[in-house]
DNA sequence: GGCGATCGTTACGCAAGCGTTTCTTTTACG
DNA sequence: CGTAAAAGAAACGCTTGCGTAACGATCGCC
């Protein structure tokens, strides 16, 4: 079920969601961090540093740093892969799921509130 | 005309748009910068540093710095208000309008492409 | 077993953002 | 006038992110 949006609706939605998120949340995730977080929570695991780097089209240190930051915020977790100990598997956390759930609600509510 | 989204659609839309934006554009605007840019282009002028700071709930230097950065990118422009020379009026640019137009298209296209 | 390849991290120097405080210019108003 | 208030910018020290390059740990395979 695709979502059909007019240009005004598309940018208006982004405007109100972004604005509200800035006002409400002190955790100011960058665009890249947000992309990584959504990728981890919306795409079936497993997720690795290398895989995320390839998906986003960025270098591996970018992923490592983003995981450092978001790990400190409790939004993601890292676990060594015991089958191949070179790999690190990125795990979801309860707090991260909660964060995205609230963010999803924000999008939905701002979508409803778009000018008629 | 409100936009009705399911949680899966809301986050899925954000996911694909964010991901594509990271992949396509080297200009990595922060959430705050994006909020400022959208406010300038979607809300009727005039826009001032003080007004934007109040709207976003941040301090004035945050706005000044964001305008510095986005000004260097050609996305916005600053002009002294001749009626009250203490004020600075933030102006839109052709390049900024183009940037948001392309971004709007990205949202619309990713919305259409959401899983059925 | 040894050796090249792979994975993630760390180190480095640099650029950009932050909050707080201070400064400059301009206005308002007694 | 002249003095206080207001708007925006600049200064300060700090934190965080960047890209490139180098590094240690682990695997695969002969």
| Contacts of B50 by beta carbon, 8 Å cutoff, 6+ apart | B60
What average pLDDT does this structure show over B88-102? Answer: 95
Q: How many contacts (CB atoms, under 8 Å) link A and B?
A: 143
pLDDT digit string, tens, across residues B35-66 = 999 999 999 999 999 999 999 999 999 999 99
What average pLDDT does this structure show over A48-71? Answer: 96
The pLDDT score that the predictor gives to residue B88 is 94
The pLDDT score that the predictor gives to residue B115 is 85
pLDDT at residue A5 is higher than 90 = yes
Q: What is the mean pLDDT of chain B?
A: 94
Query: Does residue B81 sit in helix, strand or coil?
Result: coil
Hey, which residues does A112 pair with through a beta bridge?
A: none
Which of the nucleotides lies closest to B31 (Cα–C1')? C17
Residue nearest to nucleotide C7 (CA to C1'): A86
Query: What is the C-alpha to C-alpha distance for residues B36 and B42, in angstroms, rounded to an integer?
Result: 10
Quick check: A3 and B21 CB within 8 A?
A: no
Q: Please say whether the beta carbons of A75 and A34 come within 8 A.
A: no
Q: How confident is the model at residue A26 (pLDDT cuts 50, 70, 90)?
A: confident
Quick check: A103 and B23 CB within 8 A?
A: no
Quick check: A10 and B104 CB within 8 A?
A: yes
CA distances from A2 to A64, B1, B13 (A): 34, 17, 10
| Contacts of B8 by beta carbon, 8 Å cutoff, 6+ apart | none
Instruction: For chain A, list the domains and their CATH numbers.
Output: 7-112 (1.10.10.10)
pLDDT digit string, tens, across residues B9-25 = 999 999 999 999 999 98
pLDDT digit string, tens, across residues A87-116 = 999 999 999 999 999 999 999 999 999 987
Q: Which of B20, B31, B66 is nearest to A106 (CA)?
A: B31
Torsion of CA A65, B61, B53, B34, to 10 degrees: -40
Neighbour tally for A39: CB within 10 Å: 19
pLDDT at residue A1 is higher than 80 = no
Using CB atoms, pick whichever of B10, B56, B113 lies closest to residue A23. B56
Contacts A101 to B, Cβ<8 Å: 7
pLDDT at residue B1 is higher than 80 = no
pLDDT at residue A28 is higher than 90 = no
Query: What is the C-alpha to C-alpha distance for residues A33 and A20, in angstroms, rounded to an integer?
Result: 18
CA→C1' distance for A80 and D14 (Å): 33
Query: What is the C-alpha to C-alpha distance for residues B51 and A102, in angstroms, rounded to an integer?
Result: 28
Quick check: B39 and A56 CB within 8 A?
A: no
């Amino acid at each position: 079920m695709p979502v059909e949006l007019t240009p005004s609706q598309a940018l208006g939605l982004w405007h109100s969601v972004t604005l509200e998120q800035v006002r409400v949340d002190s955790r100011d995730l960058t665009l890249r961090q947000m992309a990584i977080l959504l990728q981890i929570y919306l795409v079936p695991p497993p997720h690795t540093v290398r895989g995320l780097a390839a998906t986003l089209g960025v270098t591996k240190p970018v992923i490592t740093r983003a995981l450092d930051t978001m790990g400190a915020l409790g939004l993601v977790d890292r676990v060594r892969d015991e089958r191949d100990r070179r790999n690190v598997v990125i795990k979801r956390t309860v707090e991260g799921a909660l964060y995205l759930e609230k963010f999803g609600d924000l999008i939905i509510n701002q979508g409803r509130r778009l000018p008629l």
